[in-house]
Structure 1
């Protein structure tokens, strides 16, 4: 038996490293080729992963494309954490507008269209992206209520729709530019109606 045994690897397990490489390759290919040119074989070649590994985690190319996109995009639109919950929401909305205003927004529109007829892609969109983002927004808004920035008794799901629905509308129906300045103004208008009444 050799005394020069290989040292034990530290850090993230190899399976997670492979998964991250697949997701990175998937997002790159989706941005380069769009969904029409996106294939499992291309992702396997770029990531160095076996097709069997890819299919172990994702049932089809649409689900993989969605997962790669979501894994990459979610990092770019995280919420800041300051003393003001409303300022955090406003800042994040402006970041979302910046990110969605270009190639990412066009990719989202394609993925949403794909999800309409693909239950697997829809599940990935909702569970991997939409619902976690809504839960994060709900947490920040609840902080705003508890700190007195927003009036109590608000339906936070309705508030989230009021804040972010127009952004999705401009992504899917690009009748006007999606800009940070517009997103900031949108936040100001919505929050103006949600403040506590002035103390008499």
Structure 2
């Protein structure tokens, strides 16, 4: 019996996702290292989860890339990063 289309599609997405992780691993490792250093230097609130913060930043960018009617301008990226970091810096200015 042939697998249903939904099962086949999920398997395809998981395979692509695993391959994508291998390609993005160095970029993610660098991002987490920068966040960890900022945390160690006391620049971020103590409760910050590095993985979640990295996902918040990259998630917004990838969402914009996948949404054809959304603009991914330098101004958007600067505003998004500033607002995220203003929140995680515990009220200290950037």
TM-score by length of 2: 0.74
Q: Is the 8 A contact 1:148 1:196 kept in 2?
A: no
SS in 2 for 1:187: helix
State the match for 1:128 in structure 2: 23
Partner deviation per Cα, 1:27-68 (whole Å, 9 max, x = no partner): xxxxxxxxxxxxxxxxxxxxxxxxxxxxxxxxxxxxxxxxxx
Greater Cα radius of gyration, structure 1 or 2: 1
State the match for 1:189 in structure 2: 83
Q: Is the 8 A contact 1:149 1:195 kept in 2?
A: yes
Partner deviation per Cα, 1:56-115 (whole Å, 9 max, x = no partner): xxxxxxxxxxxxxxxxxxxxxxxxxxxxxxxxxxxxxxxxxxxxxxxxxxxxxxxxxxxx
1:197 Cα deviation from its structure 2 partner: 5.1
TM-score by length of 1: 0.37
Task: Provide structure 2 residue ranges, at least 5 long, that are not aligned to the other structure.
Answer: 1-10
SS in 1 for 2:88: coil
Question: How many residue pairs get matched?
Answer: 81
Task: Provide structure 1 residue ranges, at least 5 long, that are not aligned to the other structure.
Answer: 1-115
Query: Structure 1 stretches (4+) deviating beyond 4 angstroms?
Result: none
Give me the CA root mean square deviation. 1.9
CA distance in 2, matches of 1:176, 1:128: 25
State the match for 2:57 in structure 1: 163
1:146 Cα deviation from its structure 2 partner: 1.2
